[in-house]
Amino acid sequence: MSDTYVALLRGINLGGKNKLPMKDLVEMFGVAGCRDVESYIQSGNVIFRADPSLSATVAGAVTAQIAERFGYRVPVILRTAAQLGAVIRDNPFIAAGAALDALHVMFLADQPTVLAGERLDPERSSPDAFKLLGREVYLHLPAGAAHTKLTNAYFDAKLATTCTGRNWRTVTTLFGLAGK
């Protein structure tokens, strides 16, 4: 029995750095044993099917292939289609009436400890706001992602994990693609 997954790669094809053609990325997921692989936009979003037993090795296998072929290491964070649906359902800023174009999600590689979560400063980038729930940090960025101090580097350091962010439109589109 196979499940549908979404892989979120951090830091590829941004500002001319870490160039990685999507056709090559799709091929790497196939080599790692995934099926029905497709990419969405150039920033490293991949939807695929795999047996749950294989999913534990996919991120490492793809990261290793990228390092071997392109010479840099890229974190790969996975979520199942069901987990992505829960991310959409649980966004606390939607219930509060936030504009959808101001919403973003940081996907964390690991569950942070309670102590790590307490290190986050709610006033770091006012009027921006965030809410840590499980392995996601929900962001409300009224002035946009380019103007916030709530960055990958900040959450990586404070939560002792790796994260990658997506805007709300990308999150919901990936869920739609994963559910088809």
**Long-range own/partner contacts, residues 62-69 (CB < 8 A, 24 or more apart):** 62/7, 62/9, 62/25, 62/28, 62/29, 62/32, 65/28, 65/31, 65/32, 66/20, 66/25, 66/28, 69/24, 69/28
H/E stretch holding 169 reads helix 168-178
Two structure tokens written together for 116 = 């790590």
- What is the structure's pLDDT at 17? 79
In tens, the pLDDT along 108-154 reads 999 999 999 999 999 999 999 999 999 999 999 999 999 999 999 99
In tens, the pLDDT along 56-79 reads 999 999 999 999 999 999 999 999
Phi, psi torsion values for 152, nearest 5 degrees: -55, -45
Give the pLDDT band of residue 1 (cuts 50, 70, 90).
Answer: low
The pTM assigned to this predicted structure is: 0.95
In the chain the domains, ranked by start, together with CATH numbers, are: 3-83 (3.30.70.1280), 87-178 (3.30.70)
